[in-house]
Amino acid sequence: MAEQVSTNQFKNGMHIDVDGTIYRIVEFQHVKPGKGGAFVRTKLKAFETGAVVDRTFRAGEKFPRILTSVADMQFLYDDGTDVVMMNTETYEQLSLKRESCADELRWLKEGDTVQLLSVDDVPATLQLPASVELAVLQTEPGIKGDTVSNVTKPATLETGAVVQVPLFVNEGDVVKVDTREGTYISRA
């Protein structure tokens, strides 16, 4: 049976099971009103969907704690159906289904290191750095005099991802891209 955690043991970042759904505690606040029982107001993020919900629990209420771990993994290759990763400490290799991490793969080159979040020792998601630097493989050439601000053009990066970049970015340039939004930040 899973370890039980009481509301007075809550910590930001802890994962708990509420009604069969895994949530990460984003923030919480113990409230002791003048009359009536104490309670805990929380902001929880659903692990599967990413939806953030506000929930209130009675003080002392208990929930199953979900154990999570993070390991540094090196992206080795993608064979079309599976993605092969290697633990950088133990050199152990594991395969993830391509569908489970297709969004993250847009920003990964072979050999890149990312963090793998495991929930109850089952690989769950890849955690990318906030930004990555990738080379531009294909884009329309910039024309001298094209300096109008906020005008963009599509650029295909070395991983196959397409982002909107300013007109002055050319093929071969290395650009910094925000992995959360999928947007251009700057030239590297």
**pLDDT value for 148:** 63
Query: One-letter amino acid identity for 16?
Result: I
Q: Does this chain's domain 4-66 share its CATH topology with 68-127? A: no
**Given this model, what pLDDT does residue 61 score?**
92
Q: Which amino acid is at 12?
A: N
The label of the residue with tokens 């290697």 reads 86
pTM: 0.67
CA-CA distance, 176 to 80, in Å (whole number)? 26
Alpha-carbon span 74 to 109, nearest angstrom: 10
In this predicted structure, what is the pLDDT of residue 164?
92
Low-confidence ranges of the chain (pLDDT < 50): 1
What is the DSSP secondary-structure string of 59-71? TT-EEEEEPEEEE
**What pLDDT, on a 0 to 100 scale, did the predictor assign at position 85?**
92
**pLDDT at residue number 49:** 76
CATH architecture of 4-66: Roll (2.30)
Give the pLDDT score at 143: 67
The CATH number of 68-127 is 2.40.50.140
Burial group, residue 6, by CB count within 10 angstroms (0-12, 13-18, 19+)? middle
pLDDT at residue 48 in the model: 76
Per-residue confidence (pLDDT) for residue 98, from 0 to 100: 84
Q: Where are the domains of the chain?
A: 4-66, 68-127, 131-187
Report the CATH fold assignment for 131-187. OB fold (Dihydrolipoamide Acetyltransferase, E2P) (2.40.50)
Q: Is-contact 98 105, C-beta < 8 A?
A: yes
